[in-house]
């Protein structure tokens, strides 16, 4: 996993006292102090801990990020692409994980079977229904989507 080398920085801009009336008095604006960059804490898989943990996070098949680094071929290597996240799938098997050196447990090591994975997803989704964060009528959609994602990620075994 390649992490960004540079965080985006957004600075305060001073357009002068007329800005409340939508009149820019200072052009170009004076650049002030940047806003602080705050990032969420992540779990051992690199997924954010904060917020409501939908089944994609509580029964994960990948690391999901809110950022994506630029490919060196398009310039700005190490910088992030604006408003574009990433899905970094776990290795499908232990052999694939060991061959690639990925420290995250493989899908095979996490879940005994496809049925085990789907049972855990169902339990996580039902808990969210009980807590009022998911509608009961959405359970089949959640199960269908996670089932398709499992099949997709397991079918890409490269070792």
The reply to whether 70 and 113 lie within a common domain is: yes
Give strand pairing partners of 14: 30
% residues pLDDT > 90 (the chain): 65
pLDDT of residue 159 exceeding 70, the answer is no
Which range of residues forms the domain containing residue 122?
54-154
In a domain, 134, yes or no: yes
Residues 32 and 72 occupy one common structural domain: no
* pLDDT 10s digits, 126-146: 999 999 999 999 999 999 999
Q: What is the mean pLDDT of residues 76-83?
A: 81
Convert 32-58 to b/e letters by CB count within 10 Å (16 or more is b): eeeeeeeeeeeeebbbbeeeebbbbbb
31 with 98, same domain? Answer: no
- Give the dihedral sign, CA 104/106/111/115: positive
Q: Which is more confident, 20 or 94?
A: 94
Residue entry with tokens 């917020």: 51
Same domain membership, residue 147 and residue 89? yes
CA atoms within 13 A on the CB side of 16: 10
What's the number of domains the chain is made of?
2
In a shared domain, residues 70 and 1 = no
Say if residue 65 is in the same domain as residue 18.
no
47, part of any domain: no
Residues 63 and 141 in one domain: yes
Got the DSSP string for the chain? -PPPSS----EEEE--GGGGGT---SSSPEEEEEPPP----B-TTS-B-SS---HHHHS-SEEEES--BPPGGGS-TTPBPTT--EEEEPPSSHHHHHHHT--SPPHHHH-SSHHHHHHHHHHHHHHHHHHTSS-GGGHHHHHHHHHHHHHHHHTT---
Better pLDDT: 93 or 38: 93
- 26, part of any domain: yes
Flag whether 69 is in a domain: yes
Among candidate residues 85, 100, 98, 84, the one with its CA nearest the CA of residue 47? 85
Is the overall model pTM greater than 0.85, yes or no? no
Per the domain annotation, does 16 fall within a domain? Answer: yes
Residue 82 and residue 125 in one domain: yes
Whether residue 58 sits in one domain with residue 16 = no
């Amino acid at each position: 996993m390649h992490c960004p080398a540079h965080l985006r920085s957004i600075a305060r801009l001073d357009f002068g006292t007329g800005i409340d009336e939508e009149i820019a008095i200072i052009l170009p604006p004076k650049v002030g102090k940047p806003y602080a960059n705050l990032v969420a804490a992540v779990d051992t898989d690199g997924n954010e801990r904060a917020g409501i943990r939908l089944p994609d996070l509580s029964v994960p098949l990948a690391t999901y990020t809110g950022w994506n680094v630029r490919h060196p071929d398009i310039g700005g290597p190490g910088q992030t692409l604006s408003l574009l996240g990433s899905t970094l799938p776990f290795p499908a098997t232990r052999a694939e994980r060991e061959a690639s050196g990925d420290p995250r447990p493989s899908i095979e090591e996490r879940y005994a079977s496809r049925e085990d994975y789907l049972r855990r997803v169902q339990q996580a989704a039902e808990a969210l229904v009980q807590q009022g964060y998911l509608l009961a009528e959405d359970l089949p959609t959640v199960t269908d989507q996670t089932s398709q994602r499992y099949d997709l990620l397991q079918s890409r075994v490269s070792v």
